[in-house]
């Protein structure tokens, strides 16, 4: 499982997965139950977003936000 420590990595993941599944931002926003503006901000790496809404989007790809213990070898 890929560990994501920065919001910009999360945005890139969502964009890549959306393109892999060949769905538009509009389609993903509707399926995830979030607004189009929110999804665009997520993919644009906005650093302050509601975690519950991020999880609604990530859930569409079988992923979720969570607490991950870091050690000295993890990327910061």
Q: Give the pLDDT of the chain (76 residues) as one tens digit per residue.
A: 556 666 668 899 999 999 999 999 999 999 999 999 999 999 998 988 999 999 999 999 998 888 877 776 655 4
**Dihedral of alpha carbons 7, 16, 40, 31, sign:** negative
Class of domain 7-59: mainly alpha
pLDDT of residue 2: 59
DSSP 41-60: HHHTT-S---HHHHHHHHHT
75 DSSP 8-state letter:
-
pLDDT of residue 51: 92
Enumerate the domain spans of the chain: 7-59
pLDDT of residue 8: 64
């Amino acid at each position: 499982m890929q560990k994501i420590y920065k919001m910009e990595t999360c945005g890139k993941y969502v964009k890549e997965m959306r393109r892999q599944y060949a769905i538009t931002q509009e389609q993903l926003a509707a399926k995830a139950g979030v607004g189009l503006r929110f999804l665009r901000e997520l993919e644009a790496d906005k650093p302050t977003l509601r975690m519950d809404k991020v999880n609604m989007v990530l859930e569409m790809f079988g992923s979720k936000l969570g607490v991950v213990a870091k050690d000295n070898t993890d990327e910061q």
